[in-house]
Each structure stands twice: as C-alpha cells, then as structure tokens.
Structure 1
Amino acid sequence: MDINENFESPFKLKIGFNKLLKHYEELSKGGDEFISAKANLVLKIASEYPELREGFSDVSILKEREKEIHAILQDSFSPILTKNEIKTASVPFRDLNFNCSERFKNIIRIAGDDFQLNIKNMPEDDGYIIACTVILSFCYGYNINLNRPFYYEIPDANGIMRFYKILYNADFCEIIPNKNAPKITQKDYNELLDNFENVDLWKKKFPPHSYTFNGFVVSNIFDVTDDQSISNIKSNLIGEDKRKDENFMDGFHEVFRSLFGINDLRVGFSIYNEEDGTFERVYGVGMNSFLLGDLEKADCRDSLCCWSYDRLLKEHKFFSISDVDSALKESKEQAPHITNLHKQGIKSAIFAPIANDDGVMGVIEIVSNKMQVLNSINANKLVDVMPFIVSAVERSKNEEENLIEAIIQKECTSIHPSVKWRFEKEARKYIKAEFNGEKAVFKKIDFENIYPLYGQIDIKGSSEARNKATQLDLTLQLKAVKSIFEKASEVEVLPIYEQYIYQIKNYLKDLKTNFQVDSEQHIAEFFKQDIEPVLKHLYSTDSLRPHIDSYFSSIDDKVNILYNHRKQYDDTIVMINKEMASLLDKKQLEAQAMYPHYFERFKTDGVEHNMYIGESITKEESFNPIYLYNLRLWQLQVMCEMENAYYQMQHNFPVALDVASMVLVFNQPLSISFRMDEKQFDVDGTYNARYEIVKKRVDKAYIKGTKKRITEKGKITIVYSQKQDEREYLRYIKFLQSKHYLDTDVEILELQDLQAVTGLKALRVSVLYHKNEKDKAFYTYDDLMKEIKA
C-alpha cells in the first residue's frame, strides 16, 4: 500500500532516514573510535539499501527492512530504556507508528485487539492547512505558532482510561519543494494570515503533492493521566445546570477513576448548612450522598463522630478510612459515618471539606467497594483538584441569585424592576422550603397608596374584520368543495351529491345574510365529519383526483382549514401588537429614568398598559405629586406618538385596520396586590374595584344618548370622573396642541352609565399625523387617509 493513497495533502510523503544518516556521517569522522565505528556500521547498512536514504512510500518496505531500520534507529531507541520509555518512530499526518518501544507495544497490547489508536484533538478537517503551516516554517522561515497538545486515550488493564501526551521530534525531516510548488511571497503570507479557514486559498498557494516530505518523526509519549484528570475535573465543573445533566455525574465518576486508578470509585456530595448545623442532599440527576445515605438531611453531629466533625468542619482538613470493616470494629459502631458506610457496602472512603475563607460549604465523598484502595496517602491527590471544586461551589452559590430570579419568573411572571425588591425575600423563603421538601407557597405582596394610570391603543372593528376574513375563507372553501361535487355528479349520478351541493348553497347563503358566532364551528364540523370522508372516497376517481389535490393543498396543515384571509388578519394583529409594544417598551425606559414606577403591558386586539406610581413602590422618601403629573403628560404624549407610528407603518400590514387610543384617569390613590393565580397585579378593596370595572368596560362605552362608541379612530379619548381631572388634562392638551401633537377640536362628552359606575366624562381630541418621520406637515386622520391614497 502506498502511504499517499486516499490522502490529500500538499505533501508527497516518503519515509526516509537521509537526515539521520547525515548525522552519522559526521560522527564517523569524529575522534571517538567507538562512536565512529558504530556510525560506520550504520552507514554500511544504509548503503546496502538505498531506499532507506532516498525514502519510500510503500508501507510494505517497513516490514521488509524492519531489521535494518531497527539497527539504524538503535541509538534513538535505546534497548536499555525500551521498557521504560513510551516512544515510536512515526509518519506525520498519517498516524503511522513503527519501531516502537517495548513499553508502547505493551500499552497497546493491554488495551485489547479491538482498540483503535487515534490522536485526540487532531483537527482532521484542518489537516491540509496545518501541513501548509509546517511548510511555511520549514521552507520559508515563517514561524507560525500553531502548536497544540496532542493526546492518546488508552485504557489500562482495569479498564481505566489513561491519558498520554505526545511530543514530536522533527529533527529528521526534510521538506523539499517540487517543480509545481509556487514560491510563497510576503504578500502571499500576509493574505494567508487572515484566511485560515479558506482551504481553497491554501490549496492554490500549496497545490496537492507540491512538496516532498522525506523522513520521520520521533514521538516521545508521556503518561499525563493525573494532569489530564485534573484538567477534566476543571472542565466538567465549568458551566451551568450541571445538576440537570444526566451525563454529568457519570463523567465525573470516570474522571476521578482515572485520577485514582480505581475502576469502581464513586463520588458523592453533601451541602453544609452552617445556620442549621446540618448536612443536606445536593439535588440533581445522579447526585448521591454517602454521608446521608437515604436521608434528605441530617444533623452534622449525628452524621460524624467528634474527631471527624472537628477535622472536617473546624480544621477544614480531609480524612480517609482505608478499611471500613476494621474501623467499624475499632469504633464499636459508635462512629455514625462509618456505620452508614458499612450499611452501604463501602469498604474504603475519603471525605474532604469544600471550604473557602468564609468556611465550609459542603463535603465531597469519594468511596470504593474495595478496602485500602482509598487511603491517607492517595487522598493527597485531592490537593490539586479541590481549588476547582471550591470555585464551582462558590459559583453555584452565586447562581442562587439567578435561581431566585427564576423562581420569581416561574411563580409571578416577569416582575418589573421597580417592585422586584419586594419579591426577593419571598423567593428566598420559597427556595428554602422547596429544597427542604416542604410545601412552597408564595405569600401575598401588596402596595398601598399608589396612583394608577391606564392606556390602550385598540384596533377598531377587530371583530368585524375577523368575521369578514372568516366569511371569505369559508366561502372559498365551500365553493371549492361544491365544484368537486358538481364534477362528481357528472361522473357518477348519485342523489347524495346533489344533497351536499344543496347544503353547501345554504351555508353560502347564510354566510352572506346570517353569519352567526357559531357559524364557523358548524361549517368546520360539516367539512370534517361529512365532506372529508366523501372526498377520500372520490379520490379513487382519476378525473377528480387533481381537483381534490388542489383543494387539500389550499388547506392549512396546522389548523386544517382554508386559512388565507384569516391568516392575513391574524398576522396583522400580531404585527401591530409587536410594533406597538416595542415602541411602548422603548419609550418606557425614558419614563423610568424620570422617576421609577411600576409598568406592565398586555397584547390583546391592540396593546394595553398599566402604570402605578407612589412611595410604597420606590421605597424611598422621594415621591412628590409632580412625578404623577409628569407621568400623565408623558403617557398622553406617547399615545399620540404611537398613533403616528402606527399609521406610518400601516401600509406594511396585510390588512388595513384602524386604531383608537384611550387614557383612563383615576385621581384617588389605591392599593394593589399580586394575584398568584393570574400572575399579575390587581386592585384591592371594594371602592378600588370600581377602577378595574371601568378599565375593562370603558372602551366599549357609548356617548350618552347615542349609539356611538366613546373611542374613535383618529382621536384620543381621555376618560375621567372629577372636574379637577378635566382641568388638568385640558392643560396637557393645550401644551400638546402647541407642539402639534393634537388638533384644536376638543370635545367634552358624557358617557352612558356602566354597570355600577356612573358620572364618567371624556375629553376627546383629534391626533395630528405625519406621513412619515421626515414629513414636517400635520394632518388630521381624514387628511392623512386622502394623502396616503393619493
């Protein structure tokens, strides 16, 4: 087999010993008779087989000239050290080892016949480019530091994975440009520096087989299992949510088994609760505690004897039990931790405190079912790994704050920063109860004497638009089915087809003249229960199959209906809500910077928002009514800006819908509390409930004595009940008129009484619009529509 077969590389590889033989030529001329004689002997062997100097690519020659190659390499592979050194002669980039030391051969033999030797972390995809960087260094003197550590992972006789680091000696390599090798210039080099991943560029500069590699490398291999195990422990501990990873503890056991060389070793953990003086179980997949056994938690003094208690928790030092059975007899079963280990069938163990400058955070427990394999001597291996374990536990404790936030999110939805401080205490109590196996309950959280603000930008006629879209879709679907049955009647005259056509015509008539709330459901059931089974039957008729295929291709797979116009409507609602909510969120950041307050918004057929401001929320003695008045003016201004933004982007929506904006004024302070079942704030008290009633119904209210809604497209409506509110908002309106946000057509209207609420009034005024952000002209709604359509 040729070594270059199935191998794309800038190298044409040849195994040769020319450079090594040149060293022997120099030694043969030296003054040391013994060295000179040996050198001449090596040169004589090489002279009889020219291919050893010239190089060869036929792998079979390695076997044919095995004796001669061994003689040439004898000084490099000392027979005296062959059982100690792990060493091979090899061909780079092909992972071909020959002339191996006895220790290397023995390691491979123990690994088993089915073991496949591979270099770990050798990037196969980058092999071509790495070979090019070697050429840059050897032939052009560009020292590109791409050195990376390479490893073998080889199991030992006990099945424990051991790690071997490979160091290459490339002193005996020659790299020679072939005739087809382009000369690399400084410009080429500069270009390559910024294009490591552009393999086509590298192949252009270094075409395949454009350089000859003649020689071999000496691989010096070292057992670095302990170092690699420590590194793997560090890697395993990096990252979040390890306790949820099913493979984490399995991998953790394997790493410690490599570190200690014990194939049945297991690792456990216990949390130390200093406040309660208890050990507690670490919750997570595969996590065990050998101190606790089956217990969830236990008093530290009930889990340890006096000596081991002081050793772990006061002196912060580890200890070992090399023979649990003997220790049990010596302690006369008075040492709780030894008794517990014996019950679990453990024969030897090491316990080490996980401690920092603040004290003990927990205990790591290493156990084996074999006596004496864990002892006070190899316990010292923990000295090198404990810093990483301590760091991981410290990070875990810090991440408890993130867990608190997660619990708040889970139990209370997304909590606004202004009130977050009130939830954190409850979250801490919740976590403690949950980990202790108790019933975790979030207690009531309320705020008193705060002022509410409510606003909405609502889609006008959304129900009518949805019904119209539904009628259009159902009409299209019914007509498509009607056409199929008419064609079916031509193929096969059956009265049942006529009956279906008659039923479809009735549905079509009802859609035009008598569309009801349940019409959509009835027709959907008709399609599913009556029509689809018949269509499946008719599908066997060749002439009808294309029409049935066309019908089903028009049906949406997710909702199983014709969903064209309704999808356009639904998509429009989603886009409106997304854009309006995004703008409101952006504006809210400005308002929070003025004075902190609670804010929440909801997406319905439009976007609603609640704001609450007051002393009990800010937790500071800084509240003044001026901040309330400022927030009211800000809200009114932002509602105008949202109206403008909406109509500037309306042409991008699939369906052209109108919106109407409303603000509700409530001038009395009230109390709110967080409703756990609804995961939102709501008002407290009977009187305060009036505010919620108005908020939910006012946008559907009529102007007193009419059938006209109080909200209207192109206008902003301000609902209130007190004369002082009217005076306040008239001042705001006048100010916004001066800034060309609002028109001059201010109306003062009375609202028809709502259930349990009377005496509401409203200010209503037209919004002034711009065609786009750069437009300096001002338009009423009607003018804007004319301009857009023009």
Structure 2
Amino acid sequence: MTDINANIDSPLILKVSFKKLLEYYEGLANNEDEFLAARANRVLKTAEDYPELRDGFTTIQTLKDRKKEIGFILQDTFSPLLTKNEIKTASVPFHNLIFNKSERFKKIIKTAGDDFELQIKNMPDEYRYIIACTIILNFCYGHDLNFKRPFYYEIPDANGIMRYYKIMYNADFCEIIPAENAPKITQKDYDELLDNFENLELWKAKFPPNSYQFKGFVISNIFDVTDDQSISNIKSSLIGDEKKKDETVMEGFYDIFRSLLGINDIKVGFSIYNKEENTFENVYGAGVSSFLLGGQEKEDCCKALCDWSHNRLLKEHKYFSISDVDKVYKKTEGKVPQISVLHKQGIKSAIFAPIANDDGLMGVLEIVSNRPKVLNSINANKLVDIMPYIVSAVERSKDEEENLIEAVIQKECTSIHPSVHWRFAKEAKEFIKDEMSGKEARFRKIAFDSVYPLYGQIDIKGSSEARNKATKQDLTLQLNAVKSIFEKAFEIEPLPIYEQFVYQVKDYLNGLKEHFQVDSEQQISVFFKQEVEPIFQHLRKVEGLQGLIEKYHNSIDKKVDVLYKHRRDYDETIATINQEMASLLDRKQIEAQAMYPHFFERFKTDGVEHNMYVGESITKEDNFNLLYLYNLRLWQLQVMCEMENTYYQMRPDFSISLDVASMVLVFNQPLSISFRMDEKQFDVDGTYNARYEIVKKRVDKAFIKGTNERVTQKGKISIVYSQKQDEVEYMHYIKFLQAKNYLDDDVEIVELQDLQAVTGLKAIRVSVLYHKNENDKSFYTYDDLMKEIKA
C-alpha cells in the first residue's frame, strides 16, 4: 500500500484525519435544532464505525476504501446544491493528493485532457520545505511570518485557452503536533531564521525531516481569476525589458490577450504614431507587426484610416471595432482604407484601441482574428482595464527611445567621452539640485588641470590636388557632352547662337587645362544650370537631338545636378579611408583605455586626427604616474604604424591612388583643458597653453629649415618635439619598434622653420615597414611596397 509520505522531503508527516471536523459535529449533536443534531449524529455514527477516520491514516488505499464514508462526512462542506457551481477540493498540503472534489472542479479537470497534470504554479519545489517550516512556526509557536502569498492553478479550457484559478486554503480542520525528537524553537532560533530564508540546511537543522505531524485536511476554495490574472500578466509583460527582443516573449504576450478575451486565434499588433509627420509606423523589434499598415514600414494617417476612424482614434481617443470585415468590405466596395488592408490580410474581425495620454495619441493597439464577429464592440470593453498599463509601457518606451537617441547623439556628435562623463554627471546633478531648490541653476565650468596632451594624425597627401583633378575630369566630360549636342544642333539648324555656345564651351575647356581656379567649378556649374539647361529643354523637341540630350541627362547626378563620376570616386575613397582608419583607431582605443583611462577624441577631415589627454584630474583617482603617459606615447606610435599598414593594404582596392603621411606632436608640459559650451568640445585653457593649439594646427604644413620640403612625407612617421628629453624618449620607442619590425633604420632628425610665435621645433622622421597583407611575413619600405603592388 502506497504511503502518502513516500518520496516527500518535509518536516511534516502527513496524516489524513477528520478529528477536528468531527469535534465540530460533536458540538452540533446537542443542538436545539433537531435536524442539525440528527445530521451531526449520523456523521459521528459513520466515523465511529471507522476509527481511522478520526485517528488518521497515511495510505492512499484507505482513501479508496473509505471514499463513500469520507464523502458523507464532507457532505456539508461540499453542498450537493452548490457542487456544480463551486470549485472546491479537500486535500493535504504540499501534495497533489485530492480526495474530494466538487462537480465543477471535476469537469474543469476532465476538459483539460487526459495528459493534463495538476500543479500549483507559483510554489517552487526548492522552497516547499521552508514554507512548511513557516507554517509550523505559526501553528506551534505563534510566530506569524505573514508568508501568505496567492497560489494558482493554470488549467486549459476546451478551446485550449489557459485559465487561471486562485486557491484559498481553509485550515480550520487540521493541527500540527511536534514529535518527541523535535527541537524546541527559541527566540534566538527564530531571530536567526528571519535573515536566512534561503538557507535550507539551517531550516533543516531547526526542523528536521518528519519531526512534526500534520493531522487533518485542508479545504481549497478555488476561484476563476482569469481576467484579473491576465491583466496582471499583461502588466508584468509590459514591464519586462526583453518584450521586443524575442519572438517567444511576444507569443506569450499574445497568449495573455487570448486568455483575457477567451478567443484562441487572435493576434495582437501595434503601430506607433509619429506626431511630427502624422504617420503610423511599425514598431522596432522581433515578433511585433502592424495589421493596420499591412506590411508597410509607415503610412500617412489620413491614408491609413477613413475620416470617421481617423477622428475616433486621433481626436476622440476612443476604440472602434469591425465585427465583420468581409461584410463591411463588400458594403463599402473596398474604398475604406483600414477595411481594405484588413481584407487583404484575410482578417475577419478586429478591434483598434488608441494608446493615448494627456499629450495625445502615441500609438494604436490592434487585435485581429481570422473569424468574423468574435471581436466586437462588446468584448472590446475588456480592454478598458488593461489600457492604462499599455499606456504606461508606451510612455516608458518613448522615454527609453529618447534617452537612446540622446546617447547616440552624444556618442556620435559630441566630445563627451566616457572618461570625463563622471564630471558632467556631477555638474548635472548640482544643476538639477539648484533648480529644484529654487536657486539660480547654472552649469558650472568643467575643466581638468595638469593633464598631458598627445596628438597624432594620418593625413591624406595631395587630397586637394586629387579633388581638383576629379573636378576637372567631371567638368571636361560634361562640357564635351554639351559641345557635341550644340555642334549637332548647328548641323540640323545652323543658328549662330549654337556656334557661340560651342565657342564658350571650348573656352571653358581651355581654361580647365591651363589655369583651373577656385571659382572655375562654380562658374561652369552656373553656365550649365542657367544657360545650357533652358536651351536643352527646347532642343529636346528637335528630331535627332532627343537621344543625345536624354543620354546627357542620364549622366547627370540627380542629387548634385552635375556630372559626378570622378568626384564621386574621390569622395567615396576619402570616406572609406576615413572610416577604416577611424574604426581601427576606435578598436585600438578600447585596449588603450584598459591600460589606463584617459580622454580621447578623433576627427575626420582629409584623414583622421586624434587628441588624448591623460592625468589624475580626469581619472579622479590618486594613482596616476608618468609611466602611464610614456605607455600611451609608445602605444600611439605603434598604432600609427598599424594604421599606415592597414591603409596601404587597402589602397589597391581604391579607384583613386592616394598616399598618406603620419605625424605625432609631442608636448612635454602638462596643461589645462576646459569644455567650451558654445562649441561643445574641449579646448586648452590659458594663453600659455594656446601655444600647443597653434603648433597642432600648423605643424603638418611646416617645412624643414632651409628647404621647401614638408616635414610630413608619405611612407614616414614624423615626430615633432621641442625638448631634448623628448628626443631621447622617442628614440627609445623607435629602437623598440625597429626591433619589432614596425619601423625602418633610416632615422633622421631635422629642424623646422619657425612658425608664427613658435620657434625651436624639431622632428624625428623614420620610415614605416609595410606588409602586403595581414598574412604576409615580409617587410617592405614604401618604395618597395609600391613596386610590389604594381608588379
């Protein structure tokens, strides 16, 4: 015979007993009401014939053998008049053993299917033992821990829709008795347990297995709370951070709506309202779609809705339903936009509910079904209770999106680097504190003192000449095309004006060859736009010229309104170089920040330049040492070599051949920087420190003293400095990088011509060693590499 305590780890030995219930009937046996007394005596007589019903038993067989008698004893608590309405069971705690059920409960379980297993959903197995201990503390020691939490059954109905049932326990007919070996729980024990809920071993020490006896039974009064639980589940789902990232999460979200409305085939969609553009837009994220948009990314509100529904959602902020889409589609001949889009998707009924707050419409909740009439204006009222949670979730989502947008803008468009973000946050908090306390709020100056600067750039050599060349090539192509059309026009109709246009075009062509000037491009573009184009509009009608003019117009770029072939190649090449160089520098920066935090910013021009500042005031920690500065200088030099290599490995793929030259500026004195609110970037502070900025802006154009040779040269890295100690330091770095085959042996030290207000600058120049590709183990000088590439 199976014992009900078998395979159960618990401090309680469970014993089914009706002693407490029978004691209640003993009180009724002498009642003045003869009917009640007679009934009580019959119950007591039944129990008297079977003493185990009072004394208690632990075998399942006894439950089977005494099923009739138990049913009779429990008849008053399971009224035959209410059995088809009440959901009620009699059982023992912490066990799925149910020995008496109301008819309605039986029907619910039968409908769920033969393979359904009844389980309490929110009672974790790992906590069952501890929960039993808390009940003992209450029953035997009077400590009410208020651990009452709602327990639920989840049981599917005939349509497969999950329904939720809340369980309320009646423990009037049970008692808990300590065994002889049960340790006495003292106040000290109780205090210790209060702070150790999850310490199972401690609880087992205070309440050993089988150290208490549960005698009696519990009555479970069960209530269908599907609507309330669905609303709660919707709220929980909307709070979850992952709600838009996982399709399985969204499917679970739809199941909740199915439970709420009692319809198993509904789908839920959302569309976001863009107030600025007056459009409905799809929601970002997996598993989220809009049935109102029907597969489109966005749609004008006036085109997505008819006038009545547009006013209903956007102005009145009220829901509307379509119970029979096919019927309305036929009646309106498919001319109503929201009906037409639903009909195309095979949707038969739908509800559209506005997601709106005091500021207006934020989006639309869309519930649809493939069956007609199951969604209608009556069950649409069930949405009233959940809409506040959906509104709150959308408000939160909009705030998160705005924060994300601001974060992207900060990252991509401003110079607030993470290393100094703490200082901005600190000042922002002070600003908010002053504002909220009624003081005059002012964002204080943000400055960092005694920081060491590092500056480097990889500059595209001859970029201006390359762009001028591309411009001349494009203008020449377009001028020749125009000349051909006017020459042909003169053949067809020999008007002197066409001959004059040919002369003017030739004059522009000669000008491009002999003396291309800054304003040449502008002059010729005006000529095309204001003089040539009006004539071409007329000539398009002339037979024999249509094809030439159409070919000419097809060659014109629609965005810039000129022929843009070689200039596009140039612009795309420059953009690709800058993007690749900047990306490499950003990746390397992650490593550098891990070595020691510092401020970093980079700029894309004709090449990529970067600033770094390192010092204790930036890190706000007392651990800065010049060692970290020296380490960053070596890192910078090494990365410049790697950027050079990366560029020349990409160069064969470019449509325009360009060279780059790298330079590092060394400034050996600490300086102060501050954030300029007007320009939203950091700049040096003070007149003396401004010398650093002057050098930084002009040094790459400086000449070697007594020559016309620029200090920056292709294939070389130039290290500009002013102090002898800087020279010694960098010669150590160069020697190290030579040993690692980053640099060649041709080191030279040169003096620079004086810059405005800056004298005494020198530069170390050394050639970079290159590889043809990442897997190439050979080393090449610039000249050798060019020969290899051309070979």
- Give the conservation status (yes or no) of the 8 Å contact 1:701–1:709: no
Q: Counterpart of 2:751? A: 753
Q: Counterpart of 1:709? A: 728
> The residue matched to 1:182 in structure 2 has which SS?
coil
Q: Counterpart of 1:257? A: 258
| Closer/same/farther in 2, CA of residues 614 and 192 from structure 1, 3 Å limit | closer
Query: Is residue 419 of structure 2 the alignment partner of residue 393 of structure 1?
Result: no
Q: Counterpart of 2:348? A: 347
> The residue matched to 2:676 in structure 1 has which SS?
helix
Alignment of 1:233-382 (within 5 A): 233-382=234-383
1:281-332 deviation digits (Å, cap 9, x = unpaired): 1122121111110222111111111111111110000011111122223333
Alignment of 1:119-158 (within 5 A): 119-158=120-159
Aligned pair partner of 2:686 in 608, 624, 628:
628
Alignment of 1:489-504 (within 5 A): none
C-alpha distance in 1 between matches for 2:718 and 2:267: 67
Aligned pair partner of 1:668 in 684, 691, 694:
694
- Compute the TM-score of the two structures, normalised by the length of structure 1: 0.60
Alignment of 1:577-588 (within 5 A): 578-579=595-596, 584=614, 587-588=617-618
> The residue matched to 2:244 in structure 1 has which SS?
helix
> The residue matched to 1:339 in structure 2 has which SS?
helix
- Give the Å deviation of 1:684: 12
> The residue matched to 2:131 in structure 1 has which SS?
helix
- Give the conservation status (yes or no) of the 8 Å contact 1:249–1:287: yes
- Give the conservation status (yes or no) of the 8 Å contact 1:710–1:751: no
| Closer/same/farther in 2, CA of residues 283 and 33 from structure 1, 3 Å limit | same
Alignment of 1:504-583 (within 5 A): 578-579=595-596
- Give the Å deviation of 1:240: 2.9
- Give the conservation status (yes or no) of the 8 Å contact 1:577–1:607: no
- Give the conservation status (yes or no) of the 8 Å contact 1:580–1:607: no
- Give the conservation status (yes or no) of the 8 Å contact 1:701–1:752: no
- Which consecutive unaligned segments of at least 5 residues does structure 2 have? 422-448, 457-589, 600-612, 622-628, 638-665, 704-709, 734-747, 764-791
C-alpha distance in 2 between matches for 1:419 and 1:575: 16
C-alpha distance in 1 between matches for 2:270 and 2:681: 49
| Closer/same/farther in 2, CA of residues 686 and 244 from structure 1, 3 Å limit | farther
Query: Is residue 97 of structure 2 the alignment partner of residue 96 of structure 1?
Result: yes
- Give the Å deviation of 1:6: 1.2
Alignment of 1:662-741 (within 5 A): 666-668=692-694, 709=728, 711=730
Alignment of 1:136-215 (within 5 A): 136-215=137-216
C-alpha distance in 1 between matches for 2:713 and 2:405: 34
- Compute the TM-score of the two structures, normalised by the length of structure 2: 0.60
- Give the Å deviation of 1:244: 2.1
1:611-641 deviation digits (Å, cap 9, x = unpaired): 998899321899998x336979xxxxxxxxx
- Give the Å deviation of 1:128: 1.2
| Closer/same/farther in 2, CA of residues 602 and 336 from structure 1, 3 Å limit | farther
C-alpha distance in 1 between matches for 2:202 and 2:399: 48
C-alpha distance in 1 between matches for 2:450 and 2:121: 64
C-alpha distance in 2 between matches for 1:291 and 1:283: 15
- Give the conservation status (yes or no) of the 8 Å contact 2:592–2:635: no
- Give the conservation status (yes or no) of the 8 Å contact 2:702–2:752: no
- Give the conservation status (yes or no) of the 8 Å contact 2:752–2:761: no
Q: Counterpart of 1:62? A: 63
- Give the Å deviation of 1:453: 8.3
| Fraction of identical pairs, as percent | 59
- Give the conservation status (yes or no) of the 8 Å contact 1:703–1:751: no
In structure 2, what residue type is equivalent to 1:588?
A: I
| Closer/same/farther in 2, CA of residues 414 and 457 from structure 1, 3 Å limit | closer
- Give the conservation status (yes or no) of the 8 Å contact 2:348–2:369: yes
| Closer/same/farther in 2, CA of residues 666 and 35 from structure 1, 3 Å limit | same
C-alpha distance in 2 between matches for 1:79 and 1:707: 100
> The residue matched to 1:666 in structure 2 has which SS?
helix
| Closer/same/farther in 2, CA of residues 419 and 206 from structure 1, 3 Å limit | closer
> The residue matched to 1:94 in structure 2 has which SS?
coil
Please, which moves more after superposition, 753-762 or 329-338?
753-762
Aligned pair partner of 1:619 in 678, 696, 712:
678
> The residue matched to 1:275 in structure 2 has which SS?
coil
- Give the conservation status (yes or no) of the 8 Å contact 1:702–1:709: no
- Give the conservation status (yes or no) of the 8 Å contact 1:232–1:255: yes
| Closer/same/farther in 2, CA of residues 408 and 113 from structure 1, 3 Å limit | same
C-alpha distance in 1 between matches for 2:95 and 2:10: 10
> The residue matched to 1:243 in structure 2 has which SS?
coil
C-alpha distance in 2 between matches for 1:403 and 1:702: 45
C-alpha distance in 2 between matches for 1:404 and 1:270: 20
Alignment of 1:377-456 (within 5 A): 377-405=378-406, 407-408=408-409, 415-416=416-417, 455=453
> The residue matched to 2:365 in structure 1 has which SS?
strand
C-alpha distance in 2 between matches for 1:150 and 1:161: 16
1:576-618 deviation digits (Å, cap 9, x = unpaired): 9625759946521669xxxxxxxx9995745799999889932
Q: Counterpart of 2:31? A: 30
C-alpha distance in 2 between matches for 1:412 and 1:623: 13
- Give the conservation status (yes or no) of the 8 Å contact 2:94–2:128: yes
1:256-299 deviation digits (Å, cap 9, x = unpaired): 11111111100111111122221111122121111110222111
In structure 1, what residue type is equivalent to 2:155?
A: I
Alignment length (residue pairs) = 530
In structure 1, what residue type is equivalent to 2:11?
A: P
1:171-228 deviation digits (Å, cap 9, x = unpaired): 1111111111122222221122122222222222211111111011001111111111
C-alpha distance in 2 between matches for 1:299 and 1:574: 47
